[in-house]
Amino acid sequence: MYISLIIPVYNRPQETEELLESLSRQTRRDFEVVIVEDGSRPELSSADVAERYAGILDVKYVWQENGGPAAARNTGAAAAHGDFFVIMDSDCIVPPTYFETVYRRMAADGIEFYGGPDSAAPDFSPLQKAVSYSMTAVFTTGGIRGRKRGIGKFSPRSFNLGISRRLFESVGGFSDMRIGEDIDFSLRVMRTGVKAWLLDDAVVCHKRRTSMRLFFKQVFVFGTARVNLNMRHPESRKAVFWLPAVFTVGSAVLCVAAMIVSPLMALPAVAIALLGVCRLLPGFMWQLLVLVGVIYSPWWFAVPFGALMALWFIDSAVRNRSVYIGWLSVWTSFIQLYGYGCGFLYGLWLRRVLHKDERYTYKVTRFFSSKTR
């Protein structure tokens, strides 16, 4: 068994270097790294980075015209020599024992298809740790991204996925889906009857987004992708995927009702809107204004929202051993739910009401996807 690690890269030389540096510290080194440059701009190419590590790791660098992450992974698979593929995103950091763990588990269990969880590394920024919390916690996403306590059926994601070459080729690789392509791939693989293993001890550290704004755009795109996935794979539809949209609509209705009952609650909302338009709204200011709005809201609005905020704060603060990260996690959790919910509703509007095809959703979200890959 020989592993080929396939990494699609788009305008991220610094992240590529951090990833390769972490791979150079692996306790087991019998694997190759296939870096696929997906039409990056010349000044943001990872070619020099790959060349520097060629003497340290078995690195193969491949360039292709921009075609998206799915096409890049297929290109990487075609160029790989291994009989087992591991697929990761370029913004991952790989702990030293990762490949030792994977080889050991494959030998013991005969694994053909697996996924692993992601987490935040100790040296990640407080915001990155807060984003990681909001994307992996049971109280936000239900823990469906590679955790034992997940409330939905586990499906491997492209930030940490392994599959045999035989199985990869039998399903035809990744489809032409531009967003949500990894879930589409996992669903097609599991349709063959192969078990999707969760290797909970094969963890990667996923950097994710570096600002609230980019994080909102990312989860918005995930929400639109879920509508497309539900239409491609009707058997994958579950009520849990509607929860962020229901939370978004319910919050909006409650907020309007609360402002009618307590007009003072509307003042912070007006201030946020005006300062936001003038670009005079630092992150801490809008957070404080939201808190002021909750304080002036009726009890039937303040109690449930206050309890939810306290839950996120305490859970994240304890998990990360940081009050500040707990505070940030309150806001990244709201962004995760509202961003995904808005994207899901937008996707429903485009696909179900306007009857647009799937590629149209990629066109209208191309700004989001280009900023969040």
Write the pLDDT tens digit of every residue in 102-123. Answer: 999 999 999 999 999 998 888 8
According to the model, what pLDDT value does residue 288 have? 77
Region 175-179: what's the mean pLDDT? 88
Q: Do 23 and 140 belong together in one domain?
A: yes
Identify the domain containing residue 354 by its residue range. 236-372
Query: By three-state DSSP, how is residue 228 classified?
Result: helix
According to the model, what pLDDT value does residue 281 have? 58
Closest of 176, 173, 153, 154 to residue 163, by C-alpha: 173
Q: Which two tokens stand for residue 258?
A: 């609360």
Do the beta carbons of residue 136 and residue 143 sit within 8 Å? yes
Is 222 inside a domain boundary?
Answer: no
Region 274-297: what's the mean pLDDT? 71
Q: Do 13 and 148 belong together in one domain?
A: yes
The enclosing domain of 154 has a CATH number of: 3.90.550.10
Q: Do 184 and 36 belong together in one domain?
A: yes
- In whole angstroms, what is the distance from residue 153 CA to residue 115 CA? 12
Q: Do 326 and 196 belong together in one domain?
A: no
Do the beta carbons of residue 239 and residue 156 sit within 8 Å? no
Q: Do 178 and 305 belong together in one domain?
A: no
Do the beta carbons of residue 40 and residue 46 sit within 8 Å? yes
Region 114-134: what's the mean pLDDT? 92
Q: Do 139 and 87 belong together in one domain?
A: yes
- In whole angstroms, what is the distance from residue 100 CA to residue 275 CA? 52
Q: Do 48 and 118 belong together in one domain?
A: yes
Do the beta carbons of residue 102 and residue 23 sit within 8 Å? no
DSSP state of 28: -
Q: Do 7 and 116 belong together in one domain?
A: yes
Task: Give the tens place of pLDDT for each residue, 305-341.
Answer: 999 999 999 999 999 999 999 999 999 999 999 999 9
Q: Do 115 and 255 belong together in one domain?
A: no
Q: Do 286 and 161 belong together in one domain?
A: no
Indicate the pLDDT class of residue 264, thresholds 50, 70 and 90: confident
- In whole angstroms, what is the distance from residue 198 CA to residue 155 CA? 9
Closest of 154, 156, 185 to residue 169, by C-alpha: 185
According to the model, what pLDDT value does residue 193 have? 94
Q: Return the number of other C-beta atoms located less than 10 Å from residue 68's C-beta.
A: 20
Do the beta carbons of residue 91 and residue 9 sit within 8 Å? no
Domain count, the chain: 2
Task: Give the tens place of pLDDT for each residue, 222-262.
Answer: 999 999 999 999 988 888 889 999 999 999 999 899 989 98
Q: Do 160 and 34 belong together in one domain?
A: yes
21 sits in the region (left: phi over 0; alpha: psi -120 to 50; else beta) called: alpha
Q: Do 252 and 192 belong together in one domain?
A: no
Chain-centre distance for alpha carbon 299:
35
User: What pTM value is reported for the model?
Assistant: 0.87
- In whole angstroms, what is the distance from residue 252 CA to residue 271 CA? 18
Starting at the earlier edge strand, list the strands of the sheet with 92-93: 92-93, 204-206, 118-119
Is 226 inside a domain boundary?
Answer: no
